Each structure stands twice: as structure tokens, then as C-alpha cells.
Amino acid sequence: MDGKYYIFYTALSRYPFTADGIKVGVAVTRDFKTVEKASSDDFQLQGDWRCFPSALDGQYAAILTADTDRPPSKIALAFFDEEKEIWSKRYWNDWYKNVDKYKNKFQST
């Protein structure tokens, strides 16, 4: 997106490993030699991530699976007005409080 590559990865912050210690981390690079931004502790959710490579209706978008280690997991969408929201703790806390609003309507619970 915008000449940058976003690398999402599983970040483990506790040992022994528990669901509360599994987070999504993100690294941002333009050349795969240097990292401009890296974060792991800010993400309050677990899951698998994919960002759309270009803006949709002027917003950045991601599809993700939330709560992969706390079933039932949820396939959901996230939309960002600004790039910095991708790793904003405040954004994700607010998003996660309303996760059912963003989950796939066709998914069985």
C-alpha cells in the first residue's frame, strides 16, 4: 500500500503460551532491508490478517480472523481512515468492543 509492505505476524508475549499472550504484530518496510514501524503489544486481538493493497472508497481495509484462540473465531473487516490507525491501541480497543458489528453476517456462531 502506498509503496509500503505491511508484514503481519503472530507475536507471543507470555510463557507458557496462553490465548491472552498471543497478539498480532505488524512491521512496515519499503525495501525488506529496513523496518520503519514495528508493533506487537498494541494489538489487543488475535488472528490472521490480510490488508487490501489499495484503498476502498478512500479507506484502508483489512480482513481478519478475530479470536482464533478463543472460539468461536470471527471473520471480520476493519476499515481505517488513516494509516496510523492500523496499529492504534485506541482504534483496536474500540473496534473489538463492537466486533460483532464487523463480523461476517453469513458465519454461523
Nearest to 19 by CA among 10, 8, 30: 10
Q: Looking at the domain assignment, is residue 61 inside a domain? A: yes
* Residue 92 falls inside a structural domain: yes
Query: Is the pLDDT confidence value at 30 over 90?
Result: yes
Q: Is 33 helix (H, G, I), strand (E, B) or coil?
A: coil
Q: Evaluate if residue 109 carries a pLDDT over 80.
A: no
Q: Is the pLDDT of residue 80 over 60?
A: yes
Mean pLDDT across the chain, nearest whole number? Answer: 77
**Total domain count, the chain:** 1
More confident residue, 98 or 23: 98
Q: Does residue 108 lie within any of the structural domains?
A: no
CB 102 within 8 A of CB 78: yes
SS3 label, residue 109: coil
Helix (H, G, I), strand (E, B) or coil at 63: strand
